[in-house]
Amino acid sequence: MKRKSSIKDISKYILIISLTVIGLFIITYLGASNHSNNKHLAIYTSNFEENEFVKIHDNYDGKGEKSFSEVIRDKSYVDKYKSFYNDLISSNKFTYIELNAQPLEAFSKEPYTGDLTFIYGYEDGVAPEVVNQKTKLNGNDTYFSPIKAIQIGDIAVKYLKLQDKLSSGQLFEDEDYNFNKNNEINVILGYEYSKAYKIGDSFEITYITVPIKCKVIGFLEKNTLLPYNSKMLTLDTYIIMPFFNIIDYNDVNGDFERFYIIHYSLKSSGFIPYKSTEEGIEIRNEIQLLGKENGLSYTTDYIKGALLTDL
């Protein structure tokens, strides 16, 4: 059966928002700067033929498990997540696909007055509740709003044939998947953004706790679709960003450990295609084993079409 967003998902998003505000305060003071646990994503090829996948996810905040807030306070999880992620992408037992929909954060001194269709949660009717959340930043009233975004890895770009969905510009290149010390990231924008931006334009926004400068390198065709959360997302109002790797710890300003743990928890919550129930079970057992070997608690869910079903 289809599931609605859980209280657990929402609470983790609120946790990331809180860390974002704290992180920005620290970064400004120093002179510098969800956990998303969607367990029912359906991925299709670009012609939307149905496929079967296992969805990797952690068990944190579950019965008998640590809370994710405990995890991100423990610096030892930096190395644990680094090792776990490397095991996923280097495995010869499956193909790992990185894809997530962690919203970005727009901070400003004035309330957001733009179209709510760009706001995270619009399709679920919660955009009016999450837009223009007010906080104090360095003693000043500041408004922040979650902006819809997709993080995508290089294998996912090829798998979903994103090159066939570009109306102009170019796809990400290899170097785009490495975070740089200038916090600059190339992005592809949905069709509706083409009314306000052009290729070569830049804008600033926040990812988790780190302010980033986005440079526009392309636009998607109108009505480009992506099945996500048992729904078919129209990417017209989304920012598409490369699911970058952090090569040098010194490239991240601010609270590096928390940023790294959250970022790699998202990168480690991807998808693996499989051909049979037996193979799906084998992959789940392998993920549980890899998690355990790295000091993490992970498992998978079975996805068929737009429905989530237990194996």
Domain parsing of the chain, residue ranges: 7-309
pLDDT in tens, the chain (311 residues): 333 344 445 445 545 554 444 444 333 333 333 444 443 333 433 333 446 788 899 999 988 899 999 999 999 999 999 999 999 999 999 999 999 999 999 988 999 999 999 999 998 899 999 999 988 878 888 999 999 999 999 998 988 888 999 999 999 999 999 988 788 999 999 999 999 999 999 999 999 888 899 999 999 999 998 866 556 789 999 999 999 998 876 656 557 888 899 999 999 998 888 888 889 899 999 999 999 999 999 998 876 543 334 43
Q: Determine the pLDDT at residue 52.
A: 79
- Burial of residue 220, with CB atoms counted within 10 A of its CB: 0-12 exposed, 13-18 middle, 19 or more buried: buried
Residues with Cβ within 8 Å of 12's Cβ and at least 6 positions away in sequence, in order, are: 34, 35, 36, 37, 61, 68
Nearest to 55 by CA among 3, 101, 93, 96: 96
Compute the CA torsion angle 85, 89, 93, 97 (nearest 10 deg). 100
Q: Determine the pLDDT at residue 232.
A: 76
Structure pTM? 0.81
